[in-house]
Every structure is written in structure tokens, then in C-alpha cells.
Amino acid sequence: MLADILQFDFLRHTFLTGILIGIIAPLLGTFLVVRRLSLLADALSHVTLAGIAFGLFMEKQYFAAFFNPLYSGMGFSVIGAVLIEKLRSVYSAYQEIGIPIILSGGVGLSVIFIALANGFNTDLFNYLFGSVSAVSQADFYTILIISIFIIVMIVLFYKELLTLSFDEEHAAVSGIHSKRIHFLFIVLTALVIAASIRIVGVLLVSALMTLPVASAMRVVSSFKQLILYSIIFAEISVILGLISGYYLNIPPGGTIVVIAIIILLCCLAWKKLSVKHHVQKSA
């Protein structure tokens, strides 16, 4: 089945991109969940949607060749991340307020640019919910570069990100530049979201960053295990989601998320059964 799909170049690009997304989305998502910043992914995904709608609108203009919706979405996402970080400084006592502000702004801009782009069309639908045929070779190489950059940054700053995730005060005392590290983290999150939209869709990408992590949290006992199992669960969701999406001729974003939810339910059931078995054994 998989061999039949991979005989086409565009499908190979899609599956290779999906594998990359299955690594970087839960990798960043682990830190998002631990830091209780899951809504950050939602905010940046809506800003990314505004960038995509802007790119689709500009495609109709004279200088359309200079605007790729993927790149404009990426640019908007990074700008949104920077603005959230700035708002954290402005509202130091209520730092989380920056997230709904940017989310609202992203929704508002999305509505405007979608209307200017003459409403919903096939391209926008693919960006919203993902597509098994929309990943070009150029998109794949762009996402490959982003993935390598994100992985390298996580490896280089793993200790700082881990410390900042669990104890910001200790991080400050330890001499860690928390503002710089958080800024790096939020920009990396923006890049992950922008890179994932081709496969999962802008409206569902936050699910791929959080559902595998939620599943892994029920079966692991350390942070490194949490990262590993989150990636494994995400890869299972992406690969099975892409295959089923291709054969059912439906957007893969929905199938990926549904499979991730099924994995979550299995992990919850396994945890409940293991606890019950442990209690019976102790009695």
C-alpha cells in the first residue's frame, strides 16, 4: 500500500515532509505543554492563516510571483511570535494576555484577507485542513531546512529550555537569559506551525503539537521519554493519517488528528488498567 503511494514524486515529498513534521511538532509541543502554553500554538496558527490569506490575495496582484502563501504565512507567524513576546514585557503582571490579543488579531486579519481573496477556494481549503498533494519539492526543502534548524536549536539549548520550562526563577538565578531563550522558543514554535500547515492544516496543527504529548504523559516517567514517545505517537498519527487520507480522498489533517485522539484514548485506558492492576496486586 505504502509502496504504491511512494511511486509518485509529489507523494514522496508529502510523506517525507510528514515524517519531518512528526518530529518537530511534538518536539516543540512537549515544551509548550510543560510550560502550560498550549494556547500559544492556537494563536500563532491563526496568525499564520492571516499570512496565508494575505499570500493568496497577493497572488492575484501584479507582483504575485513574489508571494508564496507558505512563506507569507511563515512571516506572519514569526511576526506574531515577536509581538506576543513584546506584549509579555508590556503586561509583565499578566503575561498570558498577549496570546488572546494576537489570536484575535490573527482572526480579524484572516477574515479581511480571505474576503479580499474572493473567499474560500481550493488552495485555502488545502491550507486549512492539509493536503496529500500540495507539497512541492520547494516546500519540502524549505521545511527540511526549518526542521534541521529547529532540531539544532533544541539540542544546543536543551538544558536552558528544560530549566526554563520547570522553574523560571531558578533559571534566572542560574544566569540563564530567560527572555532570550523564551524569544527563541516562541520563534521556533512559529516556524513549526508554519512548516506544518501543508500536511496538517493551519486549523489543526496545534492538535499535532499537543495530542501526542498528552498521550505520552500517561505512559512515561521522564522528560526525555516524554519527548521520545510524543514523537513516536506523532509519527504513527501522521503516517496512518496520510495513508488513510490518500485512499479516502479526504484532507489528511482530520485523519491525523482522529488517529492521535485514538492513541490518546488507548493510553488513557492503558493507564487506568495498569493502575487498577497495581492496586489489586498491592491488596
Are 26 and 213 within 8 A, CB to CB? yes
Give the global pTM: 0.85
- What pLDDT is attached to residue 177? 75
What b/e sequence results for 131-170 when a residue is b if at least 16 CB atoms lie within 10 Å of its CB, and e otherwise? bbebbbeebbebbeebbeebeebbeebeebbbbbbeeeee
Q: What is the pLDDT of residues 45-63, one digit of tens each?
A: 889 888 888 888 887 765 5
- What pLDDT is attached to residue 6? 64
Three-state secondary-structure class, residue 274: helix
Are 56 and 19 within 8 A, CB to CB? no
- What pLDDT is attached to residue 186? 86
- What pLDDT is attached to residue 70? 79
- What pLDDT is attached to residue 63? 59
Three-state secondary-structure class, residue 59: coil
Domains, the chain, in order of start with CATH, read 2-206 (1.10.3470.10)
Are 211 and 29 within 8 A, CB to CB? no
Please state, as a whole number, how many other Cβ atoms lie within 10 Å of the Cβ of residue 92. 8
Extract the residue ranges of the chain whose pLDDT is less than 70.
1-6, 8, 10, 61-67, 92-95, 119-122, 133-134, 167-173, 175, 275-283
- What pLDDT is attached to residue 136? 78
- What pLDDT is attached to residue 253? 84
Angle of the 205-216 helix axis to the 223-248 helix axis, nearest 10: 130
